Amino acid sequence: MLEKNSSEGADIRFECPHCGREIHGIDAHDTDWISCRSCGKALNLASQLAMERANYNYTFAQELATPELSDLHRRPNEFSPEAKDALYAYQRAYTGIQLALRAELPAAQQARAIEIMADIAGILQRHQMISGLEAKYWIQLMVCQTVREEYEDLEARLSKSHPTLLTRILHHPRWQLRRLQLRQALTRREERLKMLERELAFIDAPHI
């Protein structure tokens, strides 16, 4: 959120993705890297502002979204004004997250960014606004993220040393097999993702 101040330019306010406290008193001319005064974590200002705008546009697009966006037989110039606004808001959100990912985002924020990109990529590719290869990259990245989260959660549970009922259950061969399956699936997905990255040859590769 930006608040204009006639004498000092723009007073930038946004929520810290680490601690949730409002960050304010930042001027538009400040350096790209700032620190949250509450938790002390370093943040890339340009990325945070791009993410803020992307979230706004994504929410706006979802509120406007109509069944027309799923119609493969209609061109964007044949859409209703509401559907056109939704489509171009999705496009702005997509571009915004691309900008945000030029720097490393906090883990939870990065996960949300990937989730949004996978959703938008399918919509934009349907209307030939991005390539099928690019859409496949973001969807594959989302799948990788989901598998990694499940694997890391199971790994953390299995590594607990306390002999609780839960850990005894998790050490059952069924869960050991599940861990192996997830690790193998993650390896395959990550190899596929690297192939897509090479094919896309990003000029500004996302910091994932």
pLDDT digits over 7-42, tens only? Answer: 344 567 889 999 999 988 776 566 688 889 899 999
SS3 131: coil
> Which tens digits make up the pLDDT trace of 86-144?
999 999 999 999 999 999 999 999 999 999 999 999 999 999 999 999 999 999 999 99
Query: What is the reported pTM?
Result: 0.82
- The DSSP code sequence of 149-183 is HHHHHHHHHHT--S--HHHHHHTSHHHHHHHHHHH
Q: How confident is the model at residue 204 (pLDDT cuts 50, 70, 90)?
A: confident
> Which tens digits make up the pLDDT trace of 139-166?
999 999 999 999 998 888 777 655 665 5
Q: How confident is the model at residue 3 (pLDDT cuts 50, 70, 90)?
A: very low
**CA angle 137–66–123, rounded 5-degree value:** 10
| Confidence (pLDDT) at 76 | 84
